Structure 1
Amino acid sequence: MIPPAKPGGHPRTTDMRAVCNGIYYQLKTGCQWAMLPHDFPPSSTAYSYYRKWQRHGVWERLNLRLLEQCRLQSGKSLQPSVIAADSQSVKTTGKKGEVYGFDGGKKVKGRKRHLIVDSLGLVLKVIMTEANASERIVTAYALMSLLEEGTQLLESVKSMLVDQGYRGDTFGLAIWLLIQAKVQVISRSGKSFEVLPKRWIVERTFGWLNWYRRLSKDYEHLPEMSEAAIYAVMIHIMLRRLSATSTTL
């Protein structure tokens, strides 16, 4: 699914495997692009492909394709029946243009990652917004975007698991009209920390992102590049999972 070289002109000499290795080295270590070791292609080349694939939607398509393979590998059907949504406010390294805000609840200046995941914690959709964006509006928009992309992953969804920030009859009605799924709000019984049934799935996904130092904060100037980084990280996680199983078999 990596775009082939354009026809005509000088043949492509860059190794796409080396480019991917350079991109994942930068995501894993969090180093600056200019500090990429010389074992990889030049940093300008690696970033050029990274940005180009983001503009053409390659990262998102790869993520959905591997998600289907991981579901089949786990004995699941292609279409999940349960999905979960949540958001995470993250700091930025400075004011990032218009997509920048303050989350009054979490006391965080920066941006907010909105994730929709399946029952395995694999990402269906990610959207980056300012930190004070409404979770309910963005989640409804994310589902609408998935439907417009023509994916079949939402056809069998019966339930969406959310926390108390998504409460409201209007949001529940919107989700029902979009995908005919029931919104299930899972609330804490008190103020102390507790592991909530099924809610830990999406929280674990946020934990996976912390394995990659580039995602410890939002370092990107463009929010779409922040989304591409999360898709790329999930692709790396799923590839390792698939390759480990094939090696064992």
Structure 2
Amino acid sequence: MYPSSSVTDAQWAILEPLLPPAGNTQGHGGRPEKHCRRVILDSIFYVVRGGIAWRQLPSEFPPSTTVWAIFARWVRAGVWQRIHDALRDRARIGDGRNPLPSAAIIDSQSVQGADTVPRSSRGYDAGKKTNGRKRHIAVDTNGLLLAVVVTMAGIQDRDGAVRLLAALRAHFSTVSLVWADGGYAGRLIGCAKSVLSLTVQVVKRTDSGKGFKVLPRRWVVERTFAWICKHRRCVRDYETRSDHHEAMVYIAMIATMSRRLARTA
């Protein structure tokens, strides 16, 4: 057991029903699964939490090629997002809220890219002096993830927000208000209103006073970034594909929410 990443019994009771059906359940069509699903999840959570390479998995886990193949297969099938969305809805219901949110907060974060990130999908963020990728996220008022889009770091926030808001609208027809910082001011506000029927409200910094001040609404999405960055695989981008980076963000939030739900079960 690795306390920071291993799936507890309470977590497994929550996650097991959400996993896709096992292969070869009818006795034909390929080999049956050799390794326990719980051990596979432990392996993937260990990589995401510890930030190690797949080939550095300890020997007590299944072979790294097997674990990576299952991770990639579930990315292609959209499994990680479905598990995440089910946990988020359950967390919102547990907080006495409607599963479908009516408001969201958006922001972006540039992440340094390793040498495994191809040149075709990376860029340079001059403002943050970061060469890599940028993840754009939308969260609800509790900080739970609603949508994530990964682009090259050179994309401006308002341009990346077009894709993010489109993904948000595709998943949630109930969202009508979006809070954002000053980097999203400009043509995005009119575009979001006319095309997506979303009202983007910019939360600006106050000029009075000095030092750090918590800004209304914006602190929520910053806290979500802190939750994600507790998982070292998300601190730096090692993924060759952008959709694998998005999956890492979903897995980080799956681990966070499942532990929270397990404590309150």
Normalising by structure 1, we get a TM-score of: 0.91
Q: Distance in 2 between matches of 1:165 and 1:192?
A: 20
Aligned equivalent of 2:220:
201
Which residues in structure 2 correspond to 1:9-48 (within 5 Å)? 9-48=30-69
Matched, 1:129 2:177: no
Which residues in structure 2 correspond to 1:96-245 (within 5 Å)? 96-148=118-170, 151=171, 154-168=172-186, 170-190=187-207, 192-245=211-264
Per the TM alignment, residue 235 of structure 1 is displaced from its structure 2 partner at its CA by: 0.8
Q: Distance in 2 between matches of 1:49 and 1:188?
A: 45
Per the TM alignment, residue 97 of structure 1 is displaced from its structure 2 partner at its CA by: 2.4
Per the TM alignment, residue 63 of structure 1 is displaced from its structure 2 partner at its CA by: 1.2
| AA matched with 1:193 | F
Given that 1:155 and 1:179 are in contact with CA atoms closer than 8 Å, whether structure 2 keeps it comes out as: no
After superposition, give the CA deviation of every residue in 1:88-133 in whole Å (9 maximum; x if it has no partner).
0111113522111111111111111110111111111111111111
After superposition, give the CA deviation of every residue in 1:210-231 in whole Å (9 maximum; x if it has no partner).
2111111111121111111001
Q: Distance in 2 between matches of 1:10 and 1:235?
A: 28
Given that 1:209 and 1:230 are in contact with CA atoms closer than 8 Å, whether structure 2 keeps it comes out as: yes
Aligned equivalent of 1:55:
76
Q: Distance in 2 between matches of 1:192 and 1:178?
A: 38
- Where 2:136 maps in the other structure, the secondary structure is strand
Given that 1:84 and 1:162 are in contact with CA atoms closer than 8 Å, whether structure 2 keeps it comes out as: yes
Segments of structure 1 that go 5 or more residues without pairing to the other structure are none
Q: Distance in 1 between matches of 2:184 and 2:169?
A: 20
Segments of structure 2 that go 5 or more residues without pairing to the other structure are 1-17
CA RMSD of aligned residues (A): 1.7
Q: Distance in 2 between matches of 1:143 and 1:159?
A: 11
Q: Distance in 2 between matches of 1:36 and 1:123?
A: 28
Q: Distance in 1 between matches of 2:40 and 2:195?
A: 39
Q: Distance in 2 between matches of 1:59 and 1:236?
A: 11
Aligned equivalent of 2:4:
none
The number of residues matched between the two structures is: 241
C-alpha spacing 1:10/1:182, structure 2 compared with 1 (3 Å): closer
Per the TM alignment, residue 15 of structure 1 is displaced from its structure 2 partner at its CA by: 0.7
C-alpha spacing 1:192/1:107, structure 2 compared with 1 (3 Å): farther
Per the TM alignment, residue 192 of structure 1 is displaced from its structure 2 partner at its CA by: 4.6
Q: Distance in 2 between matches of 1:118 and 1:220?
A: 27
Q: Distance in 2 between matches of 1:229 and 1:156?
A: 27
After superposition, give the CA deviation of every residue in 1:5-53 in whole Å (9 maximum; x if it has no partner).
1441332222111000000011111112111112211111111110110
Say which of 80, 86, 109 aligns to 1:88.
109
Matched, 1:64 2:85: yes
Identity %: 37
Normalising by structure 2, we get a TM-score of: 0.86
Given that 1:144 and 1:178 are in contact with CA atoms closer than 8 Å, whether structure 2 keeps it comes out as: no
Given that 1:143 and 1:178 are in contact with CA atoms closer than 8 Å, whether structure 2 keeps it comes out as: no
Per the TM alignment, residue 178 of structure 1 is displaced from its structure 2 partner at its CA by: 4.5
| AA matched with 2:55 | A
- Where 2:120 maps in the other structure, the secondary structure is coil
Aligned equivalent of 1:75:
96
